[in-house]
Structures are given as C-alpha cells and as structure tokens.
Structure 1
Amino acid sequence: MSWIVFHKLLAILIAVAIGWFVGRMRWLGGADAGGSGGDPARVLSNVAFYIFVPALLFRTTARVEFASLPWLTLTAFFAPVLGLLVALYALQRWRGAAAAGAAVPSVQAITATFGNTLQVGVPLAAGVFGEAGLAIHITVVSLHALSILTVLTALVELDLARERSQGQPTGLGSLLANTVRNTVIHPVVLPVVAGLCWNALGLGLPAVLDEVLQMLGTAVVPLCLTLIGMSLAYLGWPQRWTSVLGLVAAKLLVLPSLVLGLGLLLGLRGMPLAVVVMMAALPTGSNALIFAQRYRCQEGETTAAVVVSTLGFVLTAPLWLALLQHMPA
C-alpha cells in the first residue's frame, strides 16, 4: 500500500478524532439521550442528509454518460455488492433482527456493503493504478451511492410501512402505495430520480447550478468524518462486538472475495479486475452512519464498524494487492 493511501487513512482518523474531541468537550452542546432535535450530532447528520448528500447525488446522476459505461466491469462489482446486501438483509430479517427495530436489517446491510469510495478509494486508485485505474474507479463511484442507497431506502421504507400497519386494517395496495411514496419522496431517492430525468432530457447543468451543487457536495466528506467522531463521543463503543466484527469481516474480506470470483468468471482481467476488487475491499463509508442516524437505528454499532474497518483496511489492503499481483493478466 502506497504512502499516499496511508497518509489519507491517517488524515481520516485525525478528522474523526477532531470530531470525537469536539463531542467529548460538548462544544456544540450535550447529546439528548432521548434523540430529540437537541442532539448536535443528529442535527448535523440531518443537514448532510437533506442538503449536502442530495446535492452530490443530483449532480452525479445528472452528469453520468450511460452510453459509455463499461457494463462488464460494473456487473462484476455491483452484482456481488447488491447480492450480498440483499442476502444480509434477508438473513437479519430471518433471524428476527427487525424485532429490535424495523431498520436494523437495512442498516446492517449498508454497513457491510457501502465502501469509502471517495476519501480512501480515490487516492488508492490514483496512487496504485494511476490515471487509467482512477478513471475506472470514478466510473463505478458514479453509480455506487445511488444504487446502494436507492435499494436500501426501498427496503427500509417497506419495513417501516409494514411496522406502521401492524394492528391496522391496511390493504396490500395501500401498503405498497405508502412505501412507494415514502421511497420516492426521500432525500436520497428524489435527487437521484430528478438527476436521471435531467440527464435523460439532455439539458446539461448550467455553470452556476453546477458550481452550487459541487460546493454543497464537497461538504459531505468533512462533515461525515467529524460526525463519526462526535457519534463515538456521544454514543460510546457498543457493548457487544460480535455483530460489529462480523460486519467488518463481511466488508473487508467477504465482499472483495465475491467480486474477485465473479470478475474472473466474467473474464475480467488486469487493471479493471484489480480496481473493482480493491473498491470492494474499501472500509465502510461514512454514509452508512448517516443512513443509521436517519432511521435512528444501530448508530453506535455503525460508528464502531466505520472506525474498525478503517483501521483494519491498513492490514487487509496489502494482502489484497499482493493477491491481485498474482492474478492472470
């Protein structure tokens, strides 16, 4: 692993530590254990979820050139990612995890599948694979958040609608209608749909609008990193580590193994295969915490998983890079 990537990981941990210190000192106020709007970490999370993340998603989808996408490479990455996501979600529902909260299966699924593709992924791709590898990485990133967040939003909103309808004479049509409405009118899905429509019309983004969206989108990274530290300060480490370590292992080991296996089956070789495998091997991204805070579920576990997977990536990344060097060209 190059020094560029190591320095980026160190910078991420320092940003998290700054957020933890601010939270520990209660400079933004105390955390409300009841989860009301007085919790500064939750307020900042809502700012990110309702303003900065939608701006990033709309700008990304409005600018994607779908005709030139490398669909084989995308299939090798997204089929395992979405497959593992759905499998983990179904497993947690089967195990009764939803009894602790309707959003638990979805939050655990995003923690094990949503990678840190920007703060860690971009310098990794640039430092290890050069401009050609970075171009492949950015192409996958353009669909990363919108695919994972859209699928999980639909799943969690269906679970919440089902939970709200318990004990009430709600028909299937009404349940589905409520789910569709809550899924589409959502700070993640709505900007994606709007961006896709804008893209389909071929309008192009005016320079001023593009500048505003880019400015808002760049706030996602520093805000999310400091939020991780603040959440650690307010919530503390989880009491039980079994679930956290299982999710970290799924993210750092299982997911890249699945991507590598499918990539080889599809005939993917060389740099495209290496880029998507390393992208799958990235630590859990901070958007997983924003998703958890949005639904007020598993926030402590998700925060711990982000930090632990980032530390673990220092050990697993060299192993994956060494393995990829022995793959057929």
Structure 2
Amino acid sequence: MTWDLAYKLLALFAMIAIGYGATRLGVLGGADGQRALASAAFGLFLPALLFRTTAGIDLSDLPGPLLLAFFGPLVLWALAIWYVYRRRGPAHPADPAVRAVSLSFGNTVQVGLPFAAALFGEAGLQLHLAIVSLHALVLLSLLTVLAEVDIAHAAARRGSAAALGSLLLTIARQTLIHPVVLPVLAGLAWHLTGWQLHPVADNMLLTLGQAGVPLCLVLIGASLAQYGLGSSWQRLLGLVMLKLLLLPAIVAALGVWVFGLRGLPLAVLVMAAALPSGSNALLFAQRYRTLEGEASAAIVLSTLGFALTAPLWLSLLL
C-alpha cells in the first residue's frame, strides 16, 4: 500500500473520530440529533449521489462478465447471512436484513473510488464505477424487500396485518419508495430518455452528493460513541474477517475459472469484493431502528481489518 492510500485511509478514520468526539461533547444533540443527521444523509444527500451516478450510466459499456462475477457471489453471500440469522429468531424482524447489509455491502465509494483511481488509473476506475452504479440497486433493493417482507410477516403473526393484496401492495410501496432504491430507478429512467442533466441540476446534485460522504463517516463515529462496539464484537470480528478474506477469494475463483478474467479486470473485481463495510449499513440500520451499534462496529472493525488485508490482496494481484 502506498503512502498516498494510507493517508486517505487515515483521513477516513479521522472523520469517524470527529463524529465520535462530537457526540461525546454533545455537539450533535444526542440521539435525536443523530437521527436528524441520518435522515438528511439517507433522505437527501445519498439519493442525490445515487441519482446523478445512475443517470450517467452507459448501459452498453457495462462489463457483463465482471458484474456477474462480482454480484453473483455477493448476492448469495448476503442471502446466506440473512437466512442464518432469520432461522435464529431475531428480536426485531428487520435484524437479519440489517446484519446482511452490515456484512456484505462494501464501501465502494468512500474507500473504493480513491483506491481504484490510485491503484488502477482511469481504466480501472471505469470498471470500478460499473460496480458502483449497480451496487446499491442490486444489494439494497434485495435486502429492503427481505426486510419489508419480514416486517409484514411479523405483523401478520401479531394479527395486525391487512389482507394479502393490501400486504403485497404495502411491501411493494415500501420497497420502491425507498431513499436508496427510488433515486437509482429514477436515475436509470432518466438515462433511458437520452436527456442530459442541465448544468445547474448536475452541479446541485454533485454538491449534495459530496455532502453525504463526510456526513456518513461522522455518523459512524457518532453511533460508535452512543452504542460502542458491543459485547459481541469478538464474534463480529470473525464474521468481518470472513467478509474481507473469504468473499474476495470466492469472487476471484469465479472470475478466473468461470469467466476467464485476468489482469486489470480481475484485480478491480477482487479489490471491490475485499472492501470494508460501507456507511450505508449504518443508515440502513437507522432506517429500521435496530442494530445501529452492531452496524457501526462492523464498519469500524472491517475498515481496520482492510488496512491489513488490502496489502495481502494487492500483493497477490499486482
């Protein structure tokens, strides 16, 4: 790992530390203030980033084999985590989906973009952006559906559910009218019109999207200060290390043996799978008001672990 990349990683930790210190000093206004900031990040800043990104996708240039090699194992990984925790009888019906996001959704933006640009140049960055463009749409859409279905099932068991038709309509509405899924779908629809974003709108969305990155990192520190790493951080550490080591190994094997990827595409693919948990995990947990502390711990532990595992993967790939 170069010093430039190390400095960027340290800057991420510094912003997390700022959120931690601000919470300890009472600057963020306690739990209510944190939820207001999370609502702004999840309801305004990240949607702007997602809409602008997907509106500029060139669908004809998306690398099909690379995307299949990445999202195939990732989706199966997330589903396996959701299934295991669902079988254990969660305290909150959304817990399995929240844990699946925490242990599968990679930090493809705050960590992934600077790493891809610094390591692989413009060609590698374009491949990484193809993954970023579909990352939230594929993973968060799937897990949002699962969370809403589990919540609906829990309501049915309590006898407070509506008829089947109304229940299905509610699930569909909660899934589509979602601050991550909706802007991605809207961005794709905009792209299909062939229209270009007006420079004023483009700059507005760019500025709003840029605000979301530091805010998400500050919220990670704030949540860590409020909830701590939790008593089960040792168990969580093992799961985090599996995400950092086993998932990239599966992706690499599929990329080489099934899709015949080599060189730069393989390196970009594996490093994307090896990224630590992203801040969307915390925002997802805060949306359903469950496991916020565990999501924060997963982000921090995986980012610390990434500092150790990234050089290992880079030494094998480059």
Alignment check: 8 A CA contact 1:103 1:295 kept? yes
Q: 1:306 to 1:81 in 2, by over 3 A?
A: same
Secondary structure of the 1:219 match is: helix
Instruction: Check the 8 A contact 1:81/1:113 in 2, yes or no.
Output: yes
| Letter in structure 1 aligned against 2:262 | R
For residues 147-296 of structure 1, the aligned pairs below 5 Å read 147-166=138-157, 167-168=159-160, 170-265=162-257, 266-296=259-289
Aligned residues: 316
Q: Is the Cα contact below 8 Å between 1:111 and 1:247 reproduced in 2? A: no
Higher mean alpha-carbon deviation, 169-178 vs 105-114, is at 169-178
DSSP 3-state at the match of 1:218: helix
Q: TM-score, normalised by structure 1?
A: 0.92
* Structure 1 partner of 2:306: 313
Q: Distance in 1 between matches of 2:43 and 2:225?
A: 23
Q: What percentage of residue pairs aligned between the two structures are identical?
A: 55
Aligned mates of 2:298, 2:161 — CA distance in 1: 39
Residue of structure 2 in register with 1:51 after alignment: 44
TM-score of the superposed pair, with normalisation by structure 2: 0.95
Q: CA deviation at 1:69?
A: 0.8
What do residues 247-295 of structure 1 show as CA deviations (whole Å, max 9, x unaligned)? 3123211211111111012111111011110111011111111111111
- In 1: Cα distance, 2:120 partner to 2:190 partner: 33
Q: Which amino acid aligns with 1:313?
A: F
Q: Which runs of 4+ in 1 moved over 6 A?
A: none
Residues 16-55 of structure 1: CA deviation (Å, up to 9, x unaligned): 1111110000123233xxxxxxx21111001111111111
Distance of 1:93 and 1:128 partners within structure 2: 39
CA distance in 1, matches of 2:234, 2:272: 25
Taking the aligned partners of 1:175 and 1:301, their CA distance within structure 2 comes to 30
Task: Give the match for residue 145 of structure 1.
Answer: 136
Rounded Cα–Cα distance in structure 2 between residues aligned with 1:169 and 1:78: 34
CA RMSD of aligned residues (A): 1.5
What is the distance in 2 between the residues matched to 1:241 and 1:24? Answer: 21
1:101 aligns with 2:92: yes
Conservation of the 8 A alpha-carbon contact between 2:117 and 2:125: yes
Whether 2:108 is the aligned partner of 1:123: answer: no
The separation in 2 between residues aligned to 1:226 and 1:147, in whole angstroms, is 26
Residue of structure 2 in register with 1:35 after alignment:
none
Counterpart position of 2:12: 12
Aligned mates of 1:48, 1:169 — CA distance in 2: 31
Query: What are structure 1's unaligned runs of at least 5 residues?
Result: 32-38
Q: Kindly state the Cα deviation for residue 214 of structure 1 after the two structures are TM-superposed.
A: 0.9
Shift of 1:242: 4.2
Q: Return the letter of the residue paired with 1:8.
A: K
**Residue 30 of structure 1: aligned partner:** 30
Q: Is the 8 A contact 1:108 1:247 kept in 2?
A: no
Name the residue aligned to 1:85: 78
